[in-house]
């Protein structure tokens, strides 16, 4: 779990600790200590994309991921691998003595359009769950110059549409728990009531999100297995079975697993709910349908964790184009390199577009044309002058 994803949880925990006289929250101190320990050990990932476009339209591309090794290799970011990539790793220590890891992968391609849309493994069943950044590039060659048109889009994660907000389910009254001065003025009874409301909202949100994952897995599985068909009533009944399974679940330890993010809840209850879908759908034939259903459920859970962990990530795109850059959507320029910087939250619900157009002028043809035009103009002027008759003297 990353830094920002813990802030709100820790604020609630601190508020809860102050009322530790209530026996039902006696485990919150341990939860807060665990959250603080996680905060110390976690960090963000810096993603760097460096592309140098050659005059012939080829590209030298390098991707760098910089951060703590636990974050780099936790499987929630996709690192480029394969024969086409030259991979290097290095470790340096920051001023505090902490090890900072860099994963660097480089390749050279004939055109930026060949850059992978995602660094996900080619064997992945759901490449769309990973971070995607397709490139559109055109090189237009003319007599007097060459146009280079570069566009790249970091596709948004549809966070609001897919996961909503916990505050869509939590009573607005509970906002007061996040305001220290107001929270301190609450009575023990009122604080306890608001904490119960907060936890109830988290439980409702968790159930809703897990049910969405089960539904998405079933829909994708049916798309993959066209030979398998169920009636609408059968599908609705299976989803209802998953919902019933989720309604049986109640958080343990005063809900601390929810306050700390609930990443393990899919393993403990989400898969059970998805299994209830399999149990309800009676089918004899292609047994891979149910194996793929569980796999897809895990993939959509992974998609959620990838999106959540982007919250603290930082992105930097560097692009070098031949010629004069006459259009760009950034003002950050270092020598001949264009720079874009944004955070993971910037692509939660909106695409991040990278646009740059440049013109390389072929000066020899331009010079020849200029000289030719000058000669033509001079000849025309001389011809016009010679065609004018001399003035005639009239008799007085």
Q: What is the pLDDT of residues 99-122, one digit of tens each?
A: 899 999 999 999 988 888 888 776
Where in the sequence is the domain holding 96, given as residue range(s)?
46-155+313-363
Residue 135 lies in a domain: yes
Q: pLDDT, tens digit, for every residue of 113-157? A: 888 888 877 656 677 889 999 999 999 998 889 999 999 999 999
Q: 121 and 166 share a domain? A: no
Q: 225 and 280 share a domain? A: yes
Mean per-residue pLDDT over the chain, rounded: 82
Q: Which of 309, 340, 355 is the last residue of a domain?
A: 309
Residue 286 has pLDDT above 70, yes or no: no
How far lies 315's CA from each of 8, 66, 67, 99, 132, in Å? 24, 11, 12, 20, 13
Q: 169 and 238 share a domain? A: yes
Query: How is the chain split among helix, strand and coil, in percent rounded to 5?
Result: 50, 20, 30
- Lowest average pLDDT, out of 30-44, 181-195, 216-230, goes to 30-44
**Token couple for 120:** 């996900």
Residue 21, burial from CB neighbour count under 10 angstroms (0-12, 13-18, 19+): exposed
pTM, full prediction: 0.79
Phi, psi of 74 (to 5 degrees): -85, 0
- Lowest average pLDDT, out of 79-93, 166-180, 296-310, 355-369, goes to 355-369
Q: What angle do CA 287, 290, 292 make, to 5 degrees?
A: 105
Q: 241 and 353 share a domain? A: no
The radius of gyration of the chain from alpha carbons, rounded to an integer in Å, stands at 31
Q: 32 and 83 share a domain? A: no
Q: 115 and 247 share a domain? A: no
> In the prediction, which pLDDT does 25 show?
44
What average pLDDT score do residues 68-72 get? 82
Q: 112 and 240 share a domain? A: no
Number of domains in the chain: 2
Residue 378 lies in a domain: no
Q: 81 and 223 share a domain? A: no
Residue 369 lies in a domain: no
Q: How confident is the model at residue 393 (pLDDT cuts 50, 70, 90)?
A: low
Q: What is the DSSP string of 107-136?
A: EEES-GGGS-S--S-TT-S-GGGS----EE
Q: 203 and 284 share a domain? A: yes
Q: 164 and 303 share a domain? A: yes
Residue bearing the bigger pLDDT, 286 or 324: 324
378: which residues sit within 8 A by CB, 6+ positions away? none
């Amino acid at each position: 779990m990353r830094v920002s994803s813990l802030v709100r949880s820790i604020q609630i925990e601190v508020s809860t600790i102050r009322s530790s006289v209530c026996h039902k929250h006696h485990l919150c101190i341990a939860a807060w200590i665990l959250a603080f320990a996680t905060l110390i050990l976690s960090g963000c990932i810096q993603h760097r994309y460096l592309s140098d476009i050659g005059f012939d339209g080829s590209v030298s591309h390098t991707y760098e991921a910089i951060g703590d090794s636990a974050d780099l290799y936790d499987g929630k970011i996709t690192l480029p691998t394969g024969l086409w990539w030259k991979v290097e790793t290095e470790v340096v220590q920051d001023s505090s003595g902490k090890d900072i890891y860099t994963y660097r992968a480089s390749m050279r391609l004939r055109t930026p359009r060949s850059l992978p849309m995602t660094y996900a493994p080619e064997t992945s069943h759901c490449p769309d769950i990973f971070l995607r950044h397709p490139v559109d590039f055109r090189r237009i060659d003319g007599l007097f110059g060459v146009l280079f048109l570069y566009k790249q889009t970091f596709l948004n994660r549809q966070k609001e549409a897919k996961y909503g907000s916990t505050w869509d389910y939590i009573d607005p009254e509970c906002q007061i728990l996040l305001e220290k001065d107001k929270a301190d003025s609450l009575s023990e009874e009122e604080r306890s009531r608001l904490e119960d409301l907060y936890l109830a909202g988290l439980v409702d949100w968790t159930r809703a999100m897990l049910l969405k994952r089960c539904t998405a897995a079933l829909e994708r599985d049916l798309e993959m297995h066209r030979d398998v068909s169920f009636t609408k009533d059968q599908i609705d009944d299976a989803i209802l079975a998953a919902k019933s399974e989720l309604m049986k679940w109640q958080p343990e330890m005063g809900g601390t697993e929810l306050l700390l993010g609930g990443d393990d809840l899919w393993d403990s209850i989400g898969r059970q709910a998805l299994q209830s879908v399999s149990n309800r759908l009676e089918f004899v034939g292609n047994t891979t349908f149910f194996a793929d259903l569980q796999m897809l459920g895990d993939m959509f859970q992974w998609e959620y964790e990838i999106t959540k962990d982007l919250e603290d990530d930082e992105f930097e795109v560097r692009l070098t184009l031949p010629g004069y850059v006459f259009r760009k959507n950034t003002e950050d320029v270092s020598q001949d390199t264009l720079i874009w910087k944004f955070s993971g939250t910037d692509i939660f619900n909106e695409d991040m577009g990278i646009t740059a157009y440049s013109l390389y002028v072929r000066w020899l043809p331009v010079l020849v044309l200029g000289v030719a035009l000058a000669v033509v103009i001079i000849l025309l002027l001389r011809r016009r002058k010679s065609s004018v008759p001399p003035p005639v003297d009239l008799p007085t």
